[in-house]
Structure 1
C-alpha cells in the first residue's frame, strides 16, 4: 500500500503509471459487494495507526497534484478511506482539512480537487455522519458554485457536483429560508451560464435532485423562477441541457402521481401542489415540438431529447388525467396525416403516450376515430412512423381493448402480422403489440373452454414462428417474438390444446436439431445467434409445459436429454443455461416422482453451477430449480442431500458471493428439509449453522441505501422461509423437539426481524407464519420463556390492530396466538 502511495505521488513518472497505482490502491480498500467491503475495511483498520496516518498524509498531498487526473484518483481514495474511518469515529479532522484547502486554494485546480474530493465523500459516506459539519460543507461548496470571477466554469461544475451529493444531509439548512434561498439562487444562476454547458447541465441536475428531495419547499421557487428556467432549458441548443430540463418535469410528474395515489388511499400527510397541472399549457407544446426533432436513424440505446419528451408526456398524462386531452388532441388532429413524417410520427407517439392517462370513457371515442388512421400508418412510407404506429396499437391493446369492435381486432391482427416481416425494430414493436393483445383477450385459466384469443391464436403463433426463424434474423426481434409466443400460450384456453401440442413437438424437434449443429458454428456472431435461439426455444418449452404438463410426460426423456446437452454445450456469455435449467424445473413439476431417473445425470450440472459462484444468475436459478425438484421428488431426494447441503454451505462461504444468491441458498435449505421431513435430522446442525451465520452477518450490514435495505429485508424473509421449511419438515416426523437447542438463534432472529420499522404485508406474513409454525412444531412447555416474551405478544397485537393488514394476515396472527396459548 505504501509503495502504491509513493507511485501515485511521484510527479516524475508518467500519468498512466500514477493513475494505475491509485486505482490499485482504491480497489484495495473499496468494493461494491457488502461482505467484500467489510473484509477490506477490517484489513485497512488492521494496519497500524502510524502507517495509516502516513498513507493518508501522502494521499492528501497527491490531492494537490498539478495533474488533474491524479488529483481525481487521490480524491477517490480519500473518500474510500473516509467511508471506512468516519463511520468508526476516526479521521475527524478530514473535512476541516479539505474545507481549509478550498478556502486557501491558490489555483483553480487545487480548489477543484478539494471540492471534488468533498463531493466524493458526500456521495459515499453515511449522511448522518456528515450532518454535524453540514454548515461548513454547504458554505464551501456554495461558495465554489457561486457566479463570481474567482470561480472558473470547471470549479463551479465541480462544486455543483459536490452540492448535489450533499443534498441528503443539509436538510436542516434547507429548512431555513435564508439558506435555502441562497442555494436556490446559486443553482438557478448555474442553469443560465452561457459560457459553459457543463455548468448548465449540472445546475439542472441539482434542480432535479432538489425537487425530488424538497418538493414541499418549491412552491415559491416554481412561481418565481423554475417554470421559466426549465422552459428555456427545454428550448436550449445543447441536448444535454434539454434532457435535464425535461427530466425536471418528469421527476415532478412522478412525485405528484405518487402523492395523488396516496391521497386517494386516505394518506394526506404529503400534499400535492399540482405543479405539473399548472405547467401543462406551456410545457406540453414544448414537449411536442421536441418530439418532432427525432431522426430516422436514431439508436434505440441512445437516450435522445425526443425520447425523453415522449416519456415526459406520458408522465404528464398520468398526473393530469383527462385534462391532458385538451393540450394534445389539437396537435394530433392537425398532424396525424401531415406530409412531414416527423409530425405524423409525433402525433402518433403523442396519442400512444396519453392513452392510459384520461378516464377510459374519455378516450373510447378518440380511439374509435383514430384506429383506422393508425392501421394505415402501420404501412406508412416512413419506418419511424410505422414503428410508432405499431407501438401505439400495442398501447391500445394494453389499455383500451374493450372499446375495440371484433372486426377491428381482426384488422389489428392483420396489421401486426404484416409488420412482423418489416425491419427488426418495427417487427419488435408488432411482437410487443401481440403480447398486449394476448394478455387482454386471453384467459389465465387453461381449463376455460375458449376465449376471445382463440380465433387468433394459430395465425399469430404461426406468423411469429415463421418470422423468428428466418435466416439471419435479428436476435433482439427473435427474443421479442418468442416472448410473444410464450404470452400467447400462457393466456390460451382449452380449445388451443391441439395447436399447442403441435407447437410442443415442433419446439422439441427444433431444439434437438440445434443440438446437432453446435460443431458447425463459425464466428462470434453466429455463436451468439445460435445460443440465443436455443434459449428462446427453452423458454417456449417452459411455457408449454406449464400450460399442460400431462402430455409432456411421455416425451420427457428426449426433452431432458436435449436440455442436458444444451447445458453441457452452453457458452458462458449466453443465457441459454439459465433458460435450460428453468425448463428442467418445469419438467420436474410435470413428471413429479418419475423425475428421479434423471437425477444422476442432472446432479453434476447442479453441483457445477453451485461451485461457479461468479455466475450468480445461474446459481440463483439452479437453487430455484432445486426447489422444483424437491417438491417433485419428496423424500426420494434424500440420497442427494449431503452433496447439496455441502455445496450450498461452500457457496455461502465465498466472501464475494453476489447478494442475490444468499436468499436463494436459504430457500433451498428450507425446500430440502420440507422434502425429506424427519430425515433432515442429520442435517439440522449444519443447516442451522449456515442460517445462523447469515443472520449474524446481517447485523453488520449498514442500511444506508435502498439497495442495502432491500437486501437485508429479502435475506430476512429467506431466513424465515428456511426456518419454516425446517419446522414443517420436522413436524411431519414429530421431531420438533430438535429445535429446542436452537431457540436462542431462531427467536433472537425473530425479535430483531419483527422490530423492523417499515414492514411489507408479505414480510409480516412470513414472520408471523414462522412464529406460528414454531408454536405448532415444538412440543408444548419446552420454550415458555421464549413464547411468553413481551415482544411476541406485541407483534401479534400490532398485526391484529393494523388497519393496513389484510384479513388473511390478521387470521395468521389469530392462528399464531391460539398456538402460542398452548405453549404457555
Structure 2
C-alpha cells in the first residue's frame, strides 16, 4: 500500500483495526525511515490525493517537527537538522507551493507545517527566502487564501518562537511588512484583516525595535485603531484585543495615543451592541489597570528594599484620570447579565465586574463613593438585574481601598446583602454568597463578629441548601471564615466556630452526598468539610469522628461500585468522587493522628484495594499516595509493617516517569524517609535504583528531576553516614546539574534551571545534616558544594529568592560548624562568601529567620578565618 493510500486508510477506514494498522505503519515509517517518510508525505502534499489525505500529510510532517514535550522537541529538531539538504529542500518546496496555491481547505494545515519548519530554521539563520515570499504574497492584489495562509504562518511562527532569539528578531521588518499589508484599511477582505490582526498580536513581542521608532509605531497604532471602526464586529473585537496586548507590552509609549484616540475609541467600544466587542473594549481598560497596579507594586517593593525607583517604572495614571468616566460606564454595564442563571459564557457584565475589581485595585478609594451610590440606588429595585449588579459592584471594590476606609460602608451594607439570600433570582443569590465570600476573605475585620457572625452564618446555611451555584459560594465563604477565625485553635478547648459545627457539618455531609457534582457543588462541599476538620477545636472532635465513620463507609461503597464494571463516563465520575472523599479522609487522618494506629490496618487494606482497582495512570493514584503519606506521618516508624505490601505499588508509580503520579510518588519516598528514619534501609537499594534510572532518563517530566534531587537530600538526612554508599553517583548528578544552563532565554527555561539548583541546594543540606558527625566523609565533596553556593550568590534571581538564600547561608554555617576553627580558611576567606552573607543579612524583605541564619553563617565564618 502506498503512502497516499495509507493516509486515506488511517483517516477514512470504517474498521478501527484497519485504521490502527495504517497508523502503526505510518508511525514505523517515520521512526525507522524518517527522510523517506518526509519525502513521501511531501509528494502526497503535491499530488492529486483527496483534500483529507493532503491535510493529513501536512499535519503528519508538522507532527514530526514539533512536540509539546521538550525532550521530544529537541529530538525532532536534531532529526530535521541532520536530514540531507535534498530532503529538506523537497519538504520546504512542497510547503511553499501549497502555501501559495489558494486552496481554502489547506490554509490551516499548510501554514502550521511552514511555521514548524521555520521555527527550526529561522533561529539558525536558514530558509532566508521564506519571509520575502510571504511578504510578497500578502499584498492586496494576491488571492484571499494565499494571503490568509501566509499571515497564519506568521502568526504561528510568532506564537511559538523565542521572543529573545536574535535571529528571529532580525526578521521583524519582514514580519511587520507582511502583517501591515494584510491589516491596513485598504485591504478589502475583512477575513484577511482579521488574520493579519491576530498575527500582529503574536508578533508584538518581536517588533520592539520597530515600536521604538515613532513613525513605525504611529503606523501600527493607526491601522489597529482603524480596525476598531470596521463594520465587521469580529475585526473590531480583535482590534481591541490587540490594543490591550499593546498596552501590556508597550505601556510606556501610550500617553499620546490615549489622549488622541484610545480613550474615546474604548469608551465607545464598551457601548457596542455586540457583546464580544464590548467585552474586548472593557478588557482594554482591565489591562491598563493591571499594568498600573503592577507598576505601583514594583515601586513599593523597591522602596521596601531601600532601592531607588527604576526610571522605566513610570505610571501615567490613566485609570485614575479616567475613573470618573470609566467607572459609571462599568457600573451601567453590570446590568447586562446573561438571562439564564446556568449560562457561564463570558458576558459584558462579567467583563465589567472583573474590570471594576481591577480599577478598585489600581485607584483605591476613588471608586468607593460612586459605587456606594450605585449600590444604594439599585439594591431594592424590582428588576433582578439591578439588585444583582448592586451586590456585584459592592463586592468588586473590596480589594482596592484600605478596609478601614470602607468599614462603615461594609457594616451598613451587610444586612441588606444578607437579606437577598431568599431572593427569587438565582443570579442574585449566587452573587450575594460570592460577595459574602469576598467579605470573609479580605474584609472580615470590618465586621463586628459579636453582632454580625450569627446572621452571616445563618445566611450561609440557607445558601448551602439552595441552587448549586449558590451552595458553591457558601462553601467558599465558610472556608474563609474557618481560615481566619480558627487558624491557631486546633489545640484549644474551643473556638469561635465550635457551636456552629453541628448544623454546618450535618448540612455539608448531606450536600456532599448528592448524586452529581453540578457546578462543582459536591466537590465544594467536601472541600468545606475538610476545612471544618482541619480547623476543629477539641470540643468538636466527636463530630469529626462521626464524619470519619461516614467517610470510611462512603469510600467502601465506591470500591464495591468499582468492582461492578462501569462505563468510561461512570468510571470517571466515580473516580472524581473518590478523589473528593480521599482528600477529606486525608485531612481527618492528619487531624486525628493520635488515633490512626488502631485504624491503620483497615486504612492500608482499603488503600491497597483502591490501587489494585485502578486503570493505568488513573488520577486517583496521587490522592491514594497522599493519604498513605498522612498515615505514615501519623505512625512514624510504626508504618514499617505496611511497607512490604505497599512498596510494589510505589515502585510501579516511580517507574512510570511520564505520569504526574510519579512526582507524587517521589514526594512520598521523601515522606516515608522522614517517617521511618533509618528503618527505610531495607527498601532503599530498590528505591534508589529506580530514582537513579529516572533522573538519567531524558524523557521524564520536567518537574520530576528537581523532586528526585530534593528526595535524595531527605534520604541522606535520615540515613546519615549509611548514605555514603550512594554518595558518589548522587554527588556526580548534583555536580552536573550545578552547571546546567537554560536551553533558551524563555522564562520557563530559566525558571526550570533555578528550580534544579534549588533542589541541588536542598540535597546538599540533607547530605551535610546526615554527615554532621562525620566531617572527614564530606571533605572530598566540599568543592562542588561551595561551587553551588557561589552560583546561588552570583545569581540575581536565586540570591533574592528567600528560601534559596536561607538554605545557602545556612549551609555555609553548618559546614563551617563541622570543622575545627581555621580548617576551612581557604573556602571561607573568599570575598564572595562575605558579600553574600552580608547581602542576605541586610535584605530588608527577608524574614528574621533568614537574617538569623545569615548571622549564624557569619559567626561560623569568622571562626574559620580568624
Q: Shorter-normalised TM-score: what interval? A: over 0.9
- Given the superposition, is the C-alpha separation of residues 306 and 514 from structure 1 closer, same or farther in structure 2, using an over 3 Å criterion? same
CA contact (8 A) 2:713 2:763 kept: yes
Counterpart selection for 1:173 from 172, 190, 210:
210
Counterpart selection for 1:543 from 587, 604, 627:
587
In structure 1, the partner of 2:748 is 707
Q: How do 1:777-816 and structure 2 match up within 5 A?
A: 791-816=832-857
Larger displacement relative to structure 2 (676-685 or 502-511): 502-511
In structure 2, the partner of 1:23 is 59
Counterpart selection for 1:78 from 106, 114, 126:
114
Taking only aligned residues, the RMSD between alpha carbons, in angstroms, comes to: 2.8
Alpha-carbon displacement from aligned partner over 1:226-260 (angstroms, at most 9, x marks no partner): 11111222222222222211111111111122222
CA contact (8 A) 1:292 1:346 kept: yes
TM-score (norm 2): 0.88
CA contact (8 A) 1:443 1:493 kept: no
CA contact (8 A) 1:736 1:778 kept: no
CA drift of 1:812 comes to 3.2
Q: Distance in 1 between matches of 2:134 and 2:811?
A: 51
In structure 2, the partner of 1:450 is 494
- Given the superposition, is the C-alpha separation of residues 565 and 300 from structure 1 closer, same or farther in structure 2, using an over 3 Å criterion? farther
Q: Distance in 2 between matches of 1:784 and 1:65?
A: 73
Alpha-carbon displacement from aligned partner over 1:123-173 (angstroms, at most 9, x marks no partner): 22223423334334323322331111x452222222222222222132222
In structure 2, the partner of 1:764 is 805
Alpha-carbon displacement from aligned partner over 1:60-114 (angstroms, at most 9, x marks no partner): 2232122244343333233323332333344445434433444597323323322
CA drift of 1:523 comes to 4.1
Please state if 1:187 is matched with 2:198: no
Alpha-carbon displacement from aligned partner over 1:768-823 (angstroms, at most 9, x marks no partner): 34444555568999987666666545544543454444444344344445545666
Larger displacement relative to structure 2 (583-592 or 90-99): 90-99
In structure 2, the partner of 1:203 is 239
Q: Give secondary structure in 2 for the equivalent of 1:377.
A: helix
- Given the superposition, is the C-alpha separation of residues 502 and 79 from structure 1 closer, same or farther in structure 2, using an over 3 Å criterion? same
Please state if 1:66 is matched with 2:102: yes
Q: How do 1:330-409 and structure 2 match up within 5 A?
A: 330-402=373-445, 403-409=447-453
CA drift of 1:584 comes to 1.1
Q: Give secondary structure in 1 for the equivalent of 2:267.
A: helix
Q: Distance in 1 between matches of 2:616 and 2:468?
A: 26
Alpha-carbon displacement from aligned partner over 1:577-626 (angstroms, at most 9, x marks no partner): 2222111111111110101111111101111111222322x112222122
In structure 2, the partner of 1:322 is 365
Alpha-carbon displacement from aligned partner over 1:156-203 (angstroms, at most 9, x marks no partner): 222222222222132222223222222111111111111x22322221
Counterpart selection for 1:718 from 759, 774, 777:
759
- Given the superposition, is the C-alpha separation of residues 231 and 488 from structure 1 closer, same or farther in structure 2, using an over 3 Å criterion? same
Q: Distance in 1 between matches of 2:516 and 2:174?
A: 62
Q: Distance in 2 between matches of 1:695 and 1:69?
A: 50
Please state if 1:590 is matched with 2:631: no
TM-score (norm 1): 0.92
Counterpart selection for 1:138 from 165, 176, 179:
176
- Given the superposition, is the C-alpha separation of residues 473 and 184 from structure 1 closer, same or farther in structure 2, using an over 3 Å criterion? closer
In structure 2, the partner of 1:246 is 282
Q: How do 1:654-803 and structure 2 match up within 5 A?
A: 654-692=697-735, 694-695=737-738, 698-699=740-741, 701-704=743-746, 706-734=747-775, 736-737=777-778, 740=780, 742=781, 745-759=784-798, 760-775=801-816, 791-803=832-844
Aligned length: 817
In structure 1, the partner of 2:671 is 628
Alpha-carbon displacement from aligned partner over 1:337-367 (angstroms, at most 9, x marks no partner): 2211122111121122222323323332222
Q: Distance in 2 between matches of 1:141 and 1:525?
A: 45
Q: Distance in 2 between matches of 1:422 and 1:807?
A: 47
CA drift of 1:733 comes to 4.4
CA drift of 1:452 comes to 1.4
- Given the superposition, is the C-alpha separation of residues 2 and 470 from structure 1 closer, same or farther in structure 2, using an over 3 Å criterion? closer
Q: Give secondary structure in 2 for the equivalent of 1:127.
A: coil
CA contact (8 A) 2:489 2:495 kept: no
- Given the superposition, is the C-alpha separation of residues 554 and 300 from structure 1 closer, same or farther in structure 2, using an over 3 Å criterion? farther
CA contact (8 A) 1:535 1:577 kept: no
